[in-house]
Amino acid sequence: MPETLPSLLENPDVFFTSILNALAHGKTLTSAEAEAAFGIIMDGSLPPERVAAFLMGMRVRGEAFEEVLGAVTALRRRMIPVSQIPAGTIDVCGTGGDNYGTLNVSTAVAFVLAALGVPVAKHGNRAVSSRSGASDVLLALGVPLLSDPVDLSRQLARHKLVFLAAPHHHPAMRHAAPIRKTLGIRTLFNLLGPMVNPAGVKHQLVGVFAPEWLHMVVDVLHGLGSDRVWAVCGLPDGETQGIDELTLAGPTRVVALENGATHSFVVQADMAGLPYAPVAAIQGGDAHHNAQVLEALLHGAHGAYRDTVLLNAACALHVAGQRSILTGLQIDPQAFKECVADVSRVLDNGAALAVLNGLRASSSGTHAQDITG
């Protein structure tokens, strides 16, 4: 692209044509070029065919770090942020896209962490890889999805937990949604959700649908100022497809940002004293079904769902800086088991259920909005 970026951006159509031409020749975009291209998409100034060609060109060639960084930066610039978030607030969120259709794990983990006093700003959306995404199950549980910044700050202060529904904070995404649906395949947008938390959290446990993306997610978040991140992908035995959470069904690959450095290791359920269970043991259903099972969990129900939540919540406590389950760069099984015991207590003594009931009771007088549009 011989012209300078500012001059090309004077005419978005000409600029985007130059971007498509670069992709057609297998070239990698700079972060500035990618940010500009995604900005044009997010501003809704392109016909859907051109956006689809762009997304497919990146998918076929393979998305590069600079391109993901540019996309995240473009979306962050257009989001409606949430302020007054306490230091140490964590997000637990998955990319979706794993097609396993499991029960809602990270949503349950959020209730557990809040019961332990850890502030959680959970970013979520409608279903992606299951029949019930975070927003779906919360609505079925009677938890309001607030949009007003004052209400959000008040909810977090009172209950240590706030749910940030993506459509409230990323209205620019509406321009890409129909195109993604029409394409019907994974695009770069599948990765962006956990990297554009509207609260700007610096601690994140991110579930990723495929292990080859773990380093990318951590490197982008590190580059944007995160303090501690674990990107995790479970690898169920005998399956070729990863799952976007720590799993009981096999090893979980982890890429971790700790103390400014990135390193990799594997987590197994037995390190935490938890038994093996197949993914089928946590098969989910629609929002009503998943809400019933989640509420039973908060009432103390045992089984594979509880154990999966224990595994993920124990690691999230470490990522939040509330516990340490590592010795050097290795999992410390004793510390891991003690962390699981701490998580178990708030499921057994009703503290996690109290968080749910508190959120339900606080719904009157708030500015909840419909997110179906």
Tokens of 354: 């109290």
Contact between residue 63 and residue 101 where contact means Cβ atoms under 8 Å apart: no
Output the six-digit token pair for 323.
């516990």
Q: Which residues pair with 229 in a beta bridge?
A: 204, 257
Contact predicate 279/236, CB 8 Å: yes
pLDDT value, residue 373: 35
Rounded Cα gap, residues 213 and 255, in angstroms: 10
> Using an 8 Å Cβ cutoff, are 124 and 168 in contact?
no
pLDDT on residue 190:
82
Which residues of the chain does CATH 1.20.970.10 include? 10-77
Backbone dihedral region for residue 62 (phi beyond 0: left; psi -120 to 50: alpha; all else: beta): left
**pLDDT for the residue numbered 229:** 98
Annotated binding-site ranges for Mg(2+) = 106, 244-245
Confidence at residue 324, expressed as pLDDT on a 0 to 100 scale: 96
- CATH of segment(s) 10-77: 1.20.970.10
Q: CA–CA separation, 170 vs 199, rounded Å?
A: 12
Domain span(s) for CATH 3.40.1030.10 in the chain = 90-361
User: Token match 């998580």: residue?
Assistant: 343
User: Phi/psi of residue 367, each to 5°?
Assistant: -105, 65
Q: In what helix (H) or strand (E) does residue 228 lie, and over which residues does it extend? A: strand 228-234
Q: Is 206 left (phi over 0), alpha (psi -120 to 50) or beta?
A: beta
The CATH T-level fold of domain 90-361 is Pyrimidine Nucleoside Phosphorylase; Chain A, domain 2 (3.40.1030)
pLDDT, position 5: 62
Tokens coding 36: 């500009």
Per-residue model confidence (pLDDT) at position 371: 47
HSE at residue 342, side-chain half, CA atoms within 13 A, is 24
**pLDDT at site 126:** 63
Per residue, the 3-state secondary structure of 241-303, as one string, reads: CCECCCCCCCCEEEEEEECCEEEEEEECHHHHCCCCCCHHHHECCCHHHHHHHHHHHHCCCCC
pLDDT at residue 6 in the model = 61
Question: How far, in Å, CA of 158 to CA of 75, rounded?
Answer: 29
**Which residues in the chain land under pLDDT 70?**
1-9, 126-132, 363-373
| Residues flagged as binding site for anthranilate | 94, 125, 180
Residue for token pair 């004052």:
150
The pLDDT of residue 149: 79
> CA-CA distance, 199 to 205, in Å (whole number)?
15
Instruction: Give just the sign of the alpha carbon dihedral 113, 244, 296, 342.
Output: negative
Q: List the binding residues for 5-phospho-alpha-D-ribose 1-diphosphate.
A: 94, 97-98, 102, 104-107, 122-130, 134
Amino acid, single-letter form, for residue 138 = L
Q: How far is CA 178 from CA 60, 63, 90, 350, 364, in A?
A: 20, 21, 30, 42, 33
How far is CA 37 from each of CA 13, 27, 143, rounded to the nearest angstrom? 10, 14, 37
Predicted confidence at residue 181, as pLDDT, reads: 81
Residues in the chain: 373
**pLDDT score at 321:** 96
CA 183 to chain centre: 22
What pLDDT does residue 370 have?
A: 44
Do 154 and 161 contact (CB within 8 A), yes or no?
no
Q: Summarize pLDDT for 269-318 with one digit per residue, the tens.
A: 999 999 999 999 999 999 999 999 999 999 999 999 999 999 999 999 99
**Residue 372 backbone dihedrals phi, psi, to 5 degrees:** -80, -20
Give the Cα separation of 180 and 130 in Å (integer). 17
Annotated binding site: 94, 97-98, 102, 104-107, 122-130, 134, 180, 244-245
Whole-prediction pTM? 0.92
Contact of 196 with 170, CB cutoff 8 Å: yes
Identify the three-state secondary structure at position 306: helix
Chain centroid, CA 287 distance in Å: 19
